[in-house]
Amino acid sequence: MATLPEAYKEIPLALKHIIPLDFKSIDSVPDSHAWPKTNINNDIHVQSENIFDEKSISIPVVDLMAPNVEETIGGACQTWGVFRLINHGIPANLVEEVEFQTARLFALPSELKMKVLRSPGGATGYGAPRITPFFPKFMWHEGFTIIGSPLGHARELWPHDYQHFCDVMENYQKQMKALAYKILILMLKSIGVSEEELNWKSSSSSSSSSMAAESESALQLNSFPTCPDPTIAIGLADHTDSMLFTILHQSPTKGLQIFKDGIGWITVPPVAGSFVVNTGDLLHIYSNGKFPSVRHRVLVNKDRHRYSVGFFYGPPSNSRIAPLDKCPIYRSVTVKEFLSLKAKYLTDAISLMKI
């Protein structure tokens, strides 16, 4: 039974921070969603892979089948906190189906989506980004969060036709969990930590498949509707992800940007067959600051509706994360406590962990 939702119960959100705009019903950007232009127009667009020059900068590529994968993952995590993952073994038709079901969900009328609205202290269902209360303007985004089975919500949305949606989302989460565990082990090996040293591994775990089960994760379906004026709207404002890392699928429309010190915002365009993996806060703490928690955001588009699907992977929420280092710069923290602090203080949560 997932305990992740418990972390959010303590800090209930106001309904105005949960209910997304009915994007289909409007033809201009309302003041509530209009950001100052300077917040948005400082981006660098990446043109192609593996070329580093003034015009095109690309994130590292990690081939999961390559013999030196541990080294490339380690390098990418330490210097970028983000990489493009290829040869990951997730079937393309499953990813396509997840994207199709995502688009199908968000295409439903607003009244129907409101039936599965996230509750003020809830973790799953339909709603605006969790980071909404921290910003003066609203985001051009609607999301749907799944933890485990989406059955209850799917039944509300499609009373006679919910099973396929559930099967697809459950199968995807199962496969992503196994993939995430492989990635985690490689990340940790790269900083000298063995599989046996994983400090939230339960003592009853004996095989790697049961250790892989020692995790908690959430699937975040994101929808960024077409926007009448993308120069003043933002899909997702500057944030870091809270868990260990995120495995992201993007529909074929660019929007994601990561922030790189000394360079600025860099666009990470979708590339068919690959995922974007980005580090999160818990990995930053666990690696004792060796891996940054990468800042990222999403821009919107005038004529293409963009979707993305993020798989957030973390340790069980009742487990304790402690930096694996003789000289820790962060104190130990339970996952649940950290998520509560993040919900309260957003970016300042990490600095509260400093020893």
Ligand X SMILES: O=C(O)CCC(=O)C(=O)O
Helix H or strand E segment including 86? strand 82-86
Selection from Fe ion, ligand X, none that 5 binds (CB < 5 to 8 A by kind) is none
Of the candidate residues 40, 105, 298, 341, the single one contacting ligand X (CB under 6 A)? 298
Whole-number CA gyration radius for the chain: 19
Residue 281 in contact with Fe ion, rule: CB under 5 A: no
Closer residue to ligand X (CB): 308 or 340 = 308
CA distances from 286 to 44, 131, 239, 330, 346 (A): 31, 23, 19, 8, 18
Residue 102 in contact with ligand X, rule: CB under 6 A: no
Among positive and negative, which fits the CA dihedral 181, 182, 185, 186? negative
Shortest distance, position 294 Cβ to ligand X, whole Å: 10
Helix axes 163-190, 92-106, angle to 10 degrees: 120
Interface region with ligand X, contact rule CB under 6 A, candidates 2-10, 116-124, 194-202, 248-256: 248-256
Measure the CA angle with vertex 132, ends 128 and 138; round to 5°.
80
Shortest distance, position 98 Cβ to ligand X, whole Å: 14
Selection from Fe ion, ligand X, none that 248 binds (CB < 5 to 8 A by kind) is ligand X
Helix axes 163-190, 69-79, angle to 10 degrees: 90
Point out the catalytic residue in the list 118, 130, 297, 306. Answer: 306
Closer residue to ligand X (CB): 129 or 323 = 129
Residue 241 in contact with Fe ion, rule: CB under 5 A: yes
Residue 241 in contact with ligand X, rule: CB under 6 A: yes
Residue 308 in contact with ligand X, rule: CB under 6 A: yes
Shortest distance, position 272 Cβ to ligand X, whole Å: 15
Count of residues touching ligand X (by CB under 6 A): 12
Interface region with ligand X, contact rule CB under 6 A, candidates 91-99, 120-128, 206-214, 249-257: 249-257
Residue 330 is given by DSSP the state: B
Of the candidate residues 82, 98, 248, 277, the single one contacting ligand X (CB under 6 A)? 248
For every residue of 255-298, DSSP letters joined together read -EEEEETTTEEEE----TT-EEEEE-HHHHHHTTTSS----EEE
Selection from Fe ion, ligand X, none that 256 binds (CB < 5 to 8 A by kind) is ligand X
Interface region with Fe ion, contact rule CB under 5 A, candidates 93-101, 153-161, 240-248, 298-306: 240-248
130 is catalytic: no
Selection from Fe ion, ligand X, none that 298 binds (CB < 5 to 8 A by kind) is ligand X
Residue 99 in contact with Fe ion, rule: CB under 5 A: no
Distance CA 249, CA 143 (A): 14
Shortest distance, position 163 Cβ to ligand X, whole Å: 26
Residue 300 in contact with ligand X, rule: CB under 6 A: no
Which contacts qualify for 328-332: CB closer than 8 Å, 24 or more apart? 328/288, 328/355, 329/288, 329/289, 329/354, 329/355, 330/285, 330/288, 330/289, 330/354, 330/355, 331/355
* Interacting residues with ligand X between 199 and 238 (CB under 6 A): 220, 222, 236
Residue 145 in contact with ligand X, rule: CB under 6 A: no
Measure the CA angle with vertex 212, ends 82 and 316; round to 5°.
80
Distance CA 228, CA 23 (A): 10
Whether 156 contacts 116, CB under 8 Å: yes
Identify which of 30, 76, 88, 17 has the alpha carbon closest to the alpha carbon of residue 272.
88
Shortest distance, position 253 Cβ to ligand X, whole Å: 10
Tell me the catalytic residues: 306
Chain residues binding ligand X by CB under 6 A are 220, 222, 236, 241, 248, 250, 255-256, 296, 298, 308, 310
Chain residues binding Fe ion by CB under 5 A are 241
